[in-house]
Structure 1
Amino acid sequence: MEQFGVLTLGSRLKRLSDYLFAQVQEVYEVCAIPISATYFPILRLLQSVGESSVVDIAEQLHLSHPAVSKQTTKMIKAGLLEKTVDDRDQRRSFLRMTAHGESAMLRVDPILVELKILIEQATSCSSHNFMDSLSQLESQVMDGRLADKVLDRLHQVIIEPFKSTHNEAFHDLNMAWLETYFPTQITDYDRLVLRDPHANILNKGGYVWVALRRGNSLDRVLGTIVLVVHEDGCVADVQKLAVAEHCRGKGIADALLSHVVDFAISKGVTTLTLETASNLNAAKNLYKKHGFVEKTPLKPSVYERTDIYMEKQLKGIL
C-alpha cells in the first residue's frame, strides 16, 4: 500500500491499529488477563474518574454513543463493569469498574509500562514527513514480534550454559550489536567466531552463557556473554556481552556479568579482563559498577574498534 502514498493513509492506520490490538491481546492471553484489548480506553477512563455515564464516556473518548454502549454491555456481561442508577434521576445511570475489573487493570499496568517503552522507541523517528514517519513506524512495530518483545521485558530471565540450539541467537544478537555500533569495523574474525562458537570458543576451553526467557513453545535468548580463561588459569577475558535492543535497561547485562564474575571466582581466576570502546558509555558504567578499572593494555587489541582495556582483581574476594 505504501506505493500509493496518502491515498491509503486510512487503510494503513487501520492496519496498524488492528495489528496493535492483536499483539496486545496476545500478551493478555499469555498473562491470563481476562479483558479484551479493545476495552482498554474505557477501563482506563473509569480507572481514572471512578464512574461515568455512557454519554460522558463517548464524549471523553471521542467515540460514538452506540459503540460505547455496545462495548460496555459486553464488559458488564464479563463482570468487568457494573451499572448503578443515579439517585437523583432514575433515568440516568453510571458505570464503574467491579472488583474483578479493578484487579484485571492492576495486572495490566506492568504490561502497559513495557508496551509504552517499546512504542516510544518505535515512534522516536526524526523525519519531518508524516508518511515517512509512518513507514518507519510500520517497519519497526509491524514485524510480528511486538507481543514477544513486551513479554521479554515483563518476565525474569534465567542464565544457562550455551547449547547448540542457541547458535543462531548468539550470532544474531552479537552481529546486531556490531552493526549498530561498529558497522564498518566488523572483521572476518568476528564472523568466524559468531558463526561457530562451539569450534572457536567452547572447544578451546572457553565458556558461553545465554540469558533466556522461557516461552510456551521455545526459549527466547535475550543476552549472551563469553569467558575465555588463559592457560595459566589465573586470568580470564570477558567477551561478547550482548543484549537484545528491546530488552536493554532491564538488568540483563548486569545479571550476565555478575554470573561470570561468580563463576570465575569459583574457578580460581584472580584477574578478569575486558576490552571496550570509549563511545559505549552504558557499557563502561556497567563495568565500573562491577569493579573493573581502566588499565594500560599489555599488548595491542586484535580489534581496531576497542580503545579501553579494563581489569578486575578477584584475588581475596572469597
Structure 2
Amino acid sequence: MDFLQQLGPVALGSRLRRLSEYLTSEAGSIYADYGLNFQPRWYPVFYLVAHRPGISSNEIAEQIGHTHASVSQIVKELVGNGLLTMTPDTQDQRRRLMALTLLGHEVLPQLRTQTDDVRRSMQALLTAAEVDLWRALDGFEQQLQQLSLRHRVAEARTQREAAPMQLRDFRPGDQPIFRQLNEEWISHYFTLEPADFKALDHPEEYILQPGGCILLAEINQQVVGTCALIKMPEGSYELAKMAVSPAAQGQGVGLLLGQAAIQRVRDLGGGRVYLESNSKLGPALALYRKLGFRDLAQPNPSPYDRADVQMELLLT
C-alpha cells in the first residue's frame, strides 16, 4: 500500500504536494502539445493581468493568495520572456503596473483554447471521481481561515494532556481485565460462545501472535475499556472484543478506542476494517457508523450465533 495512504489525513500536506507536482508536470507537457512556450506557474499571474491590465504585483499577490516575493519572481520571468510589460504608476512611482505585450496578446487566444480543453477534461475527471473536489477545497480553506491548523493542533494537544484517559497496548498480566470487561457485556445481552473463550482466555495465542493487537483505555491508571484487532487475509483486520466498563460509559472511551484501532490498521498497512455485531446493540452500531463503517451487502459466515450485523470500513 502507498505509504502516504497508510499515514492517512496527517500526511495531507505531503499528498497534496505530490498531486500538485504531478499536475504541474502534466500541465507542462500539455502546454508543449499546444505549441506554447509557457510555464504552469505563470498561468494565474498572466491570466489575471490579461483580464485586469494595469494591475500591480501587490494586487496580484492578494488576488491569487501567493506571497509578494513569489509573484515578483513570476512577473520577472514573464517580462524576461516578452509576455508582460511593467510601467511606473504616474501617481505612485513605487508601484509597477502590469500589462500584456504584443507577444502576450498573441499567446492569449492559444492559451484560452488550451484552457477550455483543460476545463472540460478536469470537469469530466471530477465527475468520474464522484467528488466535488473544488467545493471541498473551498470548505477546507474556509475552515483554516477561521482557525489555523497550528491552533487546531494546539487545542488537540491541550485536550490530550488535560484528559485523564490514556491508551496503551496489551501487556502481560492484562488478560484477566480483558476477559472481565468483555464477559461483563456479553453475558448481559447474550451467552459466551466457544469463539469468545478462545479469544478471551488466550489473547496472546489467538490475537497477538498472528499479527493482531489489543488496545486498552485507562482512567487514573485503571483499565476501563478495550478492543482488539484480529488479523485477517488480504490486508484486513477485524475490530473485535470492544468493551467499556459501565462506570466509564458516556465519556467517549469507545470512540477513542475505535479511532485508535482504525489508525493502528493504517499504521500496519491494512486497507480494510471488518466487524460483527448484533442489531440489539443500538449505541454500539451508532458508534461504528460514526466511525465510518457501513453494513455489508452480503453477510459472511460467522463463528458467533449472535452476529446478525456485519460491517466494514475501507481505508483505501
Q: Which TM-score applies when normalising by structure 1?
A: 0.47
- Provide TM-score, normalisation by structure 2: 0.47
Q: Which has the larger radius of gyration?
A: 2
